[in-house]
Amino acid sequence: PTKWKKYDLTYRILNYTPDLPVYYVRKALLDAFQVWSTVTKLTFTESMHGDADIMIQFASGYHKDGYPFDGKGLILAHAFFPGKGKGGDTHFDEAEHWTFNSSETGVDLFMVAAHEFGHALGLSHSNEPGALMYPWYQGYDPNFKLPYDDIRGIQTIYG
């Protein structure tokens, strides 16, 4: 996987899930970016129009990128590694029930977004159980802290 050639990245939220108030979606995404910006020199700025490095959308099934979603469960989201065009773009499966800061059954948007943004920055999966980049979602953690394996991974790329 490649890496971004710049530290100041932009993102654009193209649409919102009906599962959560807009405010919670924006907060979850902002917190997920901060997971990575606190341990690197990376900065993330929202742009409200035009093209951004990381285009974020909620979609279900086929959504024109050759990686259709699979309904509820299993695949929850995906992100493209750094690069032009689709690079960095992050898609969340609308078939999931997205939650925020809650123990109700569903998928925590912050946890998944933090994982996906790891991919969007160039991180692959880690086989370290407990790592954020571990392939399997391990549920909502109210006092989440970025595990060392992920800090090491991102600092190896962005120093």
Ligand X SMILES: CC(C)C[C@H](C(=O)NO)C(=O)N[C@@H](CC(N)=O)C(=O)NCc1cccc(N)c1
Instruction: Tell me: does residue 119 bind ligand X (CB under 6 A).
Output: yes
Instruction: Tell me: does residue 81 bind ligand X (CB under 6 A).
Output: no
| Binders of ligand X in range 126-155 (CB under 6 A) | 132, 134-138
> How many Å apart are CA 72 and CA 100, to the nearest integer?
17
Stretch that binds ligand X, among 22-30, 33-41, 46-54, 70-78 (CB under 6 A): 70-78
Closest by Cα among 21, 9, 155 to 99: 21
Question: Choosing among Zn ion, ligand X, none, which partner's interface includes residue 137 (Cβ < 5 to 8 Å by kind)?
Answer: ligand X
**What x/- string results for residues 41 through 80 when contact with Zn ion is judged by CB under 5 A?**
------------------------x-x-------------
State in angstroms the smallest separation of the CB of 17 from Zn ion: 15
116 is catalytic: yes
Three-state secondary structure call for residue 10: strand
State in angstroms the smallest separation of the CB of 119 from Zn ion: 6
Kindly give, in sequence order, each residue whose CB lies less than 8 Å from that of residue 113, ignoring residues fewer than 6 positions away. Answer: 28, 29, 32, 77, 90, 92
DSSP per position, 85-123? TTTT-EEEETTS-EESS--SSSEEHHHHHHHHHHHHTT-
> How many Å apart are CA 29 and CA 27, to the nearest integer?
5
Among the listed residues 11, 53, 59, 115, the single contact to ligand X using CB under 6 A:
115
Closer residue to ligand X (CB): 51 or 65: 65
User: What angle do helix axes 109-120 and 22-37 make, rounded to 10 degrees?
Assistant: 50
CA 26-89-65 angle, to 5 degrees, is 125
Among the listed residues 11, 24, 29, 91, the single contact to Zn ion using CB under 5 A:
91
Nearest residue to Zn ion on Cβ basis: 91
| Residues near ligand X (CB under 6 A) | 74-79, 111-112, 115-116, 119, 132, 134-138
